[in-house]
Structure 1
Amino acid sequence: MEQFYDILKQLIRIPSVVGAEHSFFMFVKRELEELGVKVEYYDGVLVAKGDEPTSGYMSAHADRHGLICTGHNEFQYAAFIAKNRADLTGDSNSEQLLHSFTTRFVDEKVQAYEPWSGSYLGLGVIKDAFLCERRNNIIFKVDGFDYLFPGTPIAFVDKLEIQDDLISAQLDNVISVAIIIYMYHLGYKGTSFFTASEEAGKSWRFLLEWFRRFDISTDELLVLDTSPYDTIEDINALDIVLRNRDANAVFRSGLKNKIKNIAIEEQIRYHFKDAYLKNKMSQTNTKKSLGTTELGRLIKATKGQIQGTTLQLPTIGYHTVNETTSIKAVESMIKVLKKLYIDI
């Protein structure tokens, strides 16, 4: 796994704020082309093709949360500024989570970068963060960035922390990108997608455009991501997270049962997130969203022409630079993918 962690450590250092993913895409492109993988770049999606492109379809979003300069000394949360907003209405789990924790951003170090080249533009520190009801967004006060122009992306300064059997960083969703690159090292020969603007609810559109461009459909699209939980006990009791559905669609793919069977065979602990959430709601007598995924939006938009399932890592500290998962969970996900695509 040393090679995997080397890949992950490098990727974490490359900023990839929602809407400003280009320099990160270029880094991923180089890493894959060095392995002899064919890489094509389209609007909002980087597509990697191994020697047998139809032998698998994996997807992971490449964007991470960060800030955007929107005026002189004014900074907003990038995913929720008007130009990035897709179908965010204030009721998604991630928005509710975000609005509850404005204080967690205070004293975080951030780095500004040039959106096209990725060139480093300087370091700043968040001094305050508050919810502006009129703009339905978080406004940040940042020391050290009064020279920046509007449109400049600002990423959280981040590095991988490994302690005991846990790893922490802004894992969503750079960890899935690292896993896919590592899979090519191990011999994966299928196709992979790295999408932009998932945190703004837009990535599925770029993916859909690619499938329509080439008149391709599949019922075996596997979307990798992280999945939030409340406590360390929750993630200690779990290795991987599956789904029967999300708020938008039911996942009807043979892949789901294949993964479930591998998990049983390999004694990998799993549960279905939608069933877990429904159970939680019935216990507390509340009604919340089942969560939205890139895949669910895609299935709904294509009326089931594109189908698949999700495979997620359980984490705590969702949407922070201290998002944490277990080493066992990462190894379990890689084991499942190896069984699915390599040790056939």
Structure 2
Amino acid sequence: MSNLATSDLSGFLEILQQLVREPSVVGTEDSFFRVLRRELEEVDVKVERHLGVLVAQGSEPESLILSAHIDRHGLLCTGPNEFQYAAFIAGNRGELTGDSLSEQMMASIADRFTGQRVQAHLPYTGTYLGQGTISNGYHCEKRHNLIFEIEGLDFLQPGAPVSFLDRLQVTDTHISAQLDNVLSVALIVYLFRNGFTGTALFTAQEEAGRSWRYALAWLQRESITTRRLLVLDTSPYPTPEAAAEQELVLRKKDATAGFDSAFTDEIARICQRLDITTTYKDEWIEAQNLDRPKPQSLGRTELGRLVAATGGHITGTTLQIPTTGYHTASETASLASIRAVLRLLSTYIS
């Protein structure tokens, strides 16, 4: 617990730096699952791989259940020198209903990636195939997806995943990389290394709206119902000033369902006791919508889908780190927020 409460983040940043380098494109997460499993097997936890989810359990698995998705946005080769945003290809669209933040922002982010270095790899093994540079990106209304052209990867065959060439950047106050959601994965690995004894679910395909199904399948397999599922994630803000208004982001609900009010209040009380500043993202969005000509969705989260699918038998709350540069290789979070989340989570380590 004392390790988590210190201001020295070197141990955590070492884990994050390593994991950031590993590709985990939506729908092709197998190689990342194997890297993550090796990390977890170095500590005294039980690790099991199931379809779409890696489960790690300490000596007190029922004390607290954490969840974080491992997938990150990337591209998939779909034709000769044609690459589509992996989360939104036709085969992944079944769970997407048009009101996720990613879908609503699709057209506006098409040109963010011009000049971005990328790397291709084999889908299952993660074997490196080559690098290239995105030369063009646009929104195709017919296919309702982002289409990219890449210089240097014209030899790829359909089905090959392409990830953003990513390296962790650290300053005195912030970190930058494609943080969503490898940041939360690194946090949980660090927690286990420092004595966390509960359960963690690492899920695939959250960006395609599927992760909740994999989590639900495992929870049902184990006959688990709970009101204390804590989902860790990042939370996007439009400007550094808006992100800096709080160290951590809470939620009472999303577009799908309300969260457990008792657990949400418990997290809020701990934050208040530790002098950690917080806001509620759903309330922030609703306030912003008062001045928007077209209201923004509250978003559909993994937790909200689990709550709705189980009639509230599986519920909990979310804990998010505010970021800017949403869904880019330069998504940025403050070190103050990372210290805050570690201080909070240390209270759940006996």
Q: TM-score range by the shorter chain?
A: over 0.9
**Structure 1 residue 275 corresponds to structure 2 residue 283:** yes
4+ residue segments displaced more than 6 Å: none
- Provide the residue aligned with 2:5 in structure 1: none
SS in structure 1 at match of 2:41: helix
User: Hey, what's the Cα distance between the residues in 2 that align with 1:285 and 1:68?
Assistant: 34
User: Hey, what's the Cα distance between the residues in 2 that align with 1:129 and 1:283?
Assistant: 30
Contact kept, 8 Å, 1:59 with 1:194, in 2: the verdict is yes
Contact kept, 8 Å, 1:219 with 1:307, in 2: the verdict is yes
Contact kept, 8 Å, 2:99 with 2:300, in 1: the verdict is no
- Provide the residue aligned with 2:318 in structure 1: 310
1:189-208 map, 5 Å = 189-208=197-216
- Provide the residue aligned with 2:44 in structure 1: 36
User: Hey, what's the Cα distance between the residues in 2 that align with 1:132 and 1:94?
Assistant: 15
Contact kept, 8 Å, 1:219 with 1:253, in 2: the verdict is no
User: Hey, what's the Cα distance between the residues in 2 that align with 1:5 and 1:310?
Assistant: 23
SS in structure 2 at match of 1:17: coil
Contact kept, 8 Å, 1:125 with 1:142, in 2: the verdict is yes
User: Hey, what's the Cα distance between the residues in 2 that align with 1:75 and 1:287?
Assistant: 31
Q: 1:234 aligns with which of 242, 245, 257?
A: 242
Q: 1:342 aligns with which of 315, 335, 349?
A: 349
- Provide the residue aligned with 1:295 in structure 2: 303
The TM-score normalised by the length of structure 1 is 0.97
- Provide the residue aligned with 2:163 in structure 1: 155
- Kindly tell me the number of residue pairs found equivalent between the two proteins: 342
- Provide the residue aligned with 2:110 in structure 1: 102
User: Hey, what's the Cα distance between the residues in 2 that align with 1:31 and 1:200?
Assistant: 25
- Provide the residue aligned with 2:4 in structure 1: none
Aligned-pair Cα RMSD in Å: 1.1
Deviation at 1:101, TM superposition (A): 1.9
CA offset digits 1:271-310 (Å, max 9, x no partner): 1111111111124465221111100011011111101000
Q: 2:99 aligns with which of 91, 109, 129?
A: 91
Deviation at 1:322, TM superposition (A): 0.8
User: Hey, what's the Cα distance between the residues in 1 that align with 2:183 and 2:94?
Assistant: 24
CA offset digits 1:58-109 (Å, max 9, x no partner): 0000000000011222111000001112332333221122321211110100
- Provide the residue aligned with 1:169 in structure 2: 177
Contact kept, 8 Å, 1:220 with 1:254, in 2: the verdict is no
Question: Aligned AA for 2:214?
Answer: F
User: Hey, what's the Cα distance between the residues in 1 that align with 2:261 and 2:223?
Assistant: 20
SS in structure 1 at match of 2:17: helix
Question: Aligned AA for 1:231?
Answer: T
Gap runs ≥5 in structure 2: 1-8
CA offset digits 1:28-56 (Å, max 9, x no partner): 10001011211100000000011111111
Contact kept, 8 Å, 1:132 with 1:138, in 2: the verdict is yes
CA offset digits 1:188-220 (Å, max 9, x no partner): 001100000000011001011111112111110
Question: Aligned AA for 1:105?
Answer: F
**Structure 1 residue 115 corresponds to structure 2 residue 123:** yes
Contact kept, 8 Å, 1:52 with 1:190, in 2: the verdict is yes
User: Hey, what's the Cα distance between the residues in 1 that align with 2:261 and 2:203?
Assistant: 21
User: Hey, what's the Cα distance between the residues in 2 that align with 1:217 and 1:244?
Assistant: 20
